[in-house]
Structure 1
Amino acid sequence: MGAAPLSLNVKSELKDELKREARLLKISESEIAEHAIKIFLDLQSHKRDVIAAAAKEADKGVFISSEAMEAWLERLDDDPDASAPETDIYLPPRR
C-alpha cells in the first residue's frame, strides 16, 4: 500500500512532545503518528466487536441478576476464589 498525505492540527504542546519522542526513538514524527492512529483504530474495531458479541449473547435472554452479582462480590471479600454466580434470569430469546 502506498502512502497518502494527511494533515493534522494539534496543540503546540502535543507537537512539541511528538518531536521530543521522535528524537528519542530516532524515528519520524509521522511514524509515531501513524502507529498511534493504527492503535486507536484497532482498539475501536475491537471495542465494536466486543459490544456486538455482548449484544448477541444478551439476545439469548440469559442473565445473572444484580442481587446474585452483589452477593458474589460480597463473598469475594472473604473468599477470593468464590465461584461466579449462576444465571438466574431467563427471558425469551430475541431474534
Structure 2
Amino acid sequence: MQSHPLSLRLKPDVQARLQAEAEASEQTMTEIAATAIETYLESQAEKRLQLEQAIASADEGTFVSSKEMADWIASWGSENELPEPEPDIFSKPSRRA
C-alpha cells in the first residue's frame, strides 16, 4: 500500500511523549502517529454508526426507559452486573413478532 507524507505540528510536551513512546516501543514516531490516526478514524466511524442506529430507533419510537438505563448503569462493576437493557418503550406500533 502506498503511503503519503503528512506534516503536523505538535505541542512540545506531546512531541516529547511521542518520542519517549517511540523509544520505549522500538517504533518510529511516524508509525505510532499513523496507528493513532487510523485508530481514531475507526473509532469515529463506529461512533457515527452507533449514533445513526440510535436515531433510526428513535425515529421508530423505540426507546429504553430512563429507569432501565439507570438500573443498568448502577450495576456496572458489581457482582450482579445487568445485561444491556432492551427497548421497553414503543411509542409507535411495533413491527416485532
User: Which TM-score applies when normalising by structure 1?
Assistant: 0.72
Report the CA distance shift for 1:54/1:41 in structure 2 as closer, same or farther (over 3 A).
same
Unaligned runs of 5+ in 1: none
The one-letter code matched in structure 1 to 2:25 is L
3-state DSSP class of the match of 2:6?
coil
Instruction: Determine if contact 1:65/1:89 at 8 Å carries over to the other structure.
Output: no
RMSD: 3.0
**Displacement of 1:88 after TM fit?**
3.9
Report the CA distance shift for 1:27/1:60 in structure 2 as closer, same or farther (over 3 A).
same
How does 1:5-16 map onto structure 2 within 5 Å?
5-16=5-16
Q: Runs in 1 of length 4+ with deviation above 6 angstroms?
A: none
2:58 counterpart residue number: 58
1:4 counterpart residue number: 4
Unaligned runs of 5+ in 2: none
Structure with more relative contact order (C-alpha pairs < 8 Å, separation 6 or more):
1
**Displacement of 1:87 after TM fit?**
2.1
Distance 2:56 2:92 in 1: 14
Instruction: Determine if contact 2:62/2:87 at 8 Å carries over to the other structure.
Output: no
Report the CA distance shift for 1:81/1:10 in structure 2 as closer, same or farther (over 3 A).
closer
Instruction: Determine if contact 1:22/1:32 at 8 Å carries over to the other structure.
Output: yes
1:21 equivalent in alignment to 2:17:
no
Percent identical among aligned pairs is 30
**Equivalent residues, number:** 88
Report the CA distance shift for 1:21/1:3 in structure 2 as closer, same or farther (over 3 A).
same
